[in-house]
Amino acid sequence: MPDSLPFTIKNASDSSNIFAYITGIAIQHDNQRCLLQSNGKDLYFPSNPPSIGSPLAVDCAIPLGPPGNTITLTVPQIAGGRLWFSRDAHLTFLLNPGPALVEPSVLNPSDPNAAVDFAFCEFTLNNDQLYANISYVDFVPRLPVAISLTTASGATQVVRGMSPTGIEDIASGLRTQSASDNRPWDKLIVPGPDGRALRVLNATHGGAVGADFSGFFEPYIDEAWTHYTSHDLVVNTQSGSGTLSGRVNSANKLVIGNQEFDKPNTADVLGCNSGPFTTGPDGERNALIPRLAAAFVRSALVEADVHPSDPATFYKRAVTNHYARVVHEGNVDRKGYAFAYDDVQPDGGEDQSGKVNAGDVTGFFVTVGGGDVGGSGQMSAPPQQQSQPQQGGGNQVQGPGQEQGFVDQNQGAGQQQERQGLRGKFGGFMQKVLH
């Protein structure tokens, strides 16, 4: 891969006030935290600020121009990168001593970005390849994002994202589900100042909006435990551990290969990173966890005895992660990370996670606003006429004293836990970078 790559960004919204920001870790600059400056090519390395909540010293807001306009950014090798977008307002990034970058938070109501319509996609560009995805692990934004890449061989990979009304479709689906099972799926919908859905939080963040799902998955968990007292559960670890099998033993523990798993609870299933799904130093266990967690989230564990199972088995039960179900239904091609292990799929299966990746990338394309996504799910071809980002549009930051948002770049779809598959490789790389 080259030292840098052109990122072509298109404003496919109906607003002339769309701003882009890039954050991440500069691989070729001693792994320093960085932001791309407003000229779309130079990096800004924040210095250690004097106090908590200090503003950025450099303008990092990149205007996309009017609807239909495209710009080209020159992006160097970055790990743990996020390409952020905001509509009709600037995003506020702050600095804490370290320096630590304070990113926009969707969970802190006093965050200066709480009422801003913003979204992001994630990427890592290193010597091996470009990997990027759209993520709904924390929330669904009002502002749709779609991604694609082209390769030297002429191949194209596309993730189409949502239509301009995608969030309304998702919100409607959650309201319908809430009316059906009397669970607080509708509370996950966060309204904006105009009363419309501004974003939808993942159910794992339900506590931030008073959405309590305690006890929800327990009937399904009990059913699965009963089923596998008399049936073999077969898991293809898709790793050096091969295919393992096991059953629930007399001590009420699920034993697969050399690993014992206690019963999870609803919080464990929604978050995928607690209880029996806590990763550690054991490679075999770390390979089993994503596949077991994904089967629970998708309520597919009892639908098939061999996992990962076919997508036809996903979300068929009344007890399932309806946030993940509705999010997939709300995306044109049904792709996007709706939970931490949404990249789990059977060998040769169709990707669910909304990722693109290749080692011979010639261009990376991002469209914002959903305007290039039609009912058929076709995105327009990569643009032919492009412009460089315009100067101006300073970052409207708040002063000290604001409650901080996500300080670490690895929050969000990373969930600060080890990944399997392609995302896992980048997760491991990030752990080495940060520690």
Written as six digits, the tokens of 366 are 């991002």
What is the Cα–Cα distance from 372 to 74, expressed in whole angstroms?
23
Q: What is the pLDDT of residue 373?
A: 57
Q: What is the pLDDT of residue 377?
A: 35
Question: Which of 282, 272, 283, 274 is CA-nearest to residue 343?
Answer: 272
Q: What are phi and psi of 134, to 5 degrees?
A: -95, 140
Q: What is the pLDDT of residue 1?
A: 79
Question: Which of 40, 43, 34 is CA-nearest to residue 72?
Answer: 40
pLDDT over 80 (residue 342): yes
pLDDT over 70 (residue 408): no
Q: What is the pLDDT of residue 427?
A: 45
pLDDT in tens, 8-43: 999 999 999 999 999 999 999 999 999 999 999 999
pLDDT over 50 (residue 383): no
pLDDT in tens, 103-124: 999 999 999 999 999 999 999 9
pLDDT over 90 (residue 178): yes
Q: What is the pTM of this model?
A: 0.87
Maximum Cα interatomic distance, the chain, rounded to a whole number of Å: 68
Written as six digits, the tokens of 357 are 């990746």
Q: What is the pLDDT of residue 2?
A: 83
What is the Cα–Cα distance from 43 to 146, expressed in whole angstroms?
24
337 to each of 63, 135, 213, 288, 357, how far by Cα in Å? 27, 5, 21, 19, 15
pLDDT confidence band for 426 (50 / 70 / 90): very low
415 to each of 79, 190, 350, how far by Cα in Å? 15, 21, 23
Q: Does a cis peptide bond (omega within 30 degrees of 0) precede residue 308? A: yes
Average pLDDT over residues 166-180: 98
Written as six digits, the tokens of 119 are 């979204």
What is the Cα–Cα distance from 73 to 432, expressed in whole angstroms?
27
- Work out the mean pLDDT of the chain and round it to a whole number: 88
pLDDT over 50 (residue 236): yes
Question: Which of 157, 119, 175, 417 is CA-nearest to residue 286?
Answer: 417
pLDDT confidence band for 46 (50 / 70 / 90): very high
Q: Are 247 and 254 in contact (CB under 8 A)?
A: yes
Q: What is the pLDDT of residue 60?
A: 98
pLDDT confidence band for 416 (50 / 70 / 90): very low
pLDDT confidence band for 94 (50 / 70 / 90): very high
Average pLDDT over residues 238-244: 97
pLDDT in tens, 50-64: 999 999 999 999 999
Q: What is the pLDDT of residue 433?
A: 42
Average pLDDT over residues 392-399: 28
Written as six digits, the tokens of 245 are 């099998």
Q: What is the CA radius of gyration of the chain?
A: 21
Strand order, beta sheet including 197-201: 139-141, 197-201, 189-191
What is the Cα–Cα distance from 17 to 263, expressed in whole angstroms?
49
HEC string for the chain = CCCEEEEEEEECCCCCCEEEEEEEEECCCCCEEEEECCCCCCEECCCCCCCCCEECCCCCCEECCCCCCEEEEEEECEEEEEEEEEECCCCCCEEECCCEEEECCCCCCCCCCCCCEEEEEEEEECCCCEEEEEECCCEEECCCEEEEEEECCCCEEEECCCCCCHHHHHHHHHHHHHHHHCCHHHHHEEECCCCCEEEEECHHHHHHHCCCCCCCCHHHHHHHHHHCCCCCEEEECCCCCCEEEEEECCCCCEEECCEEECCCCHHHHHHCCCHHHCCCCCHHHHHHHHHHHHHHHCCCCCCCCEECCCHHHCCCCCCCCHHHHHHHHCCCCCCCECCCCCCCCCCCCCCCCCEEEECCEEEEEEEECCCCCCCCCCCCCCCCCCECCCCCCCCCCCCCCCCCCECCCCCHHHCCCCCCHHHHHHHHHHHHHHC
Q: How many CB atoms lie within 10 A of CB 74?
A: 15
Domains of the chain (ranges, CATH numbers): 4-166+331-434 (2.60.110.10), 218-318 (3.30.920.50)
Strand order, beta sheet including 233-236: 259-261, 254-256, 243-248, 233-236, 306-307
Q: What is the pLDDT of residue 391?
A: 36
Residues 6+ apart with CB under 8 A from 5: 74, 75, 125, 130, 361, 363, 364
pLDDT over 50 (residue 405): no
Q: What is the pLDDT of residue 385?
A: 36
Q: Are 200 and 187 in contact (CB under 8 A)?
A: no
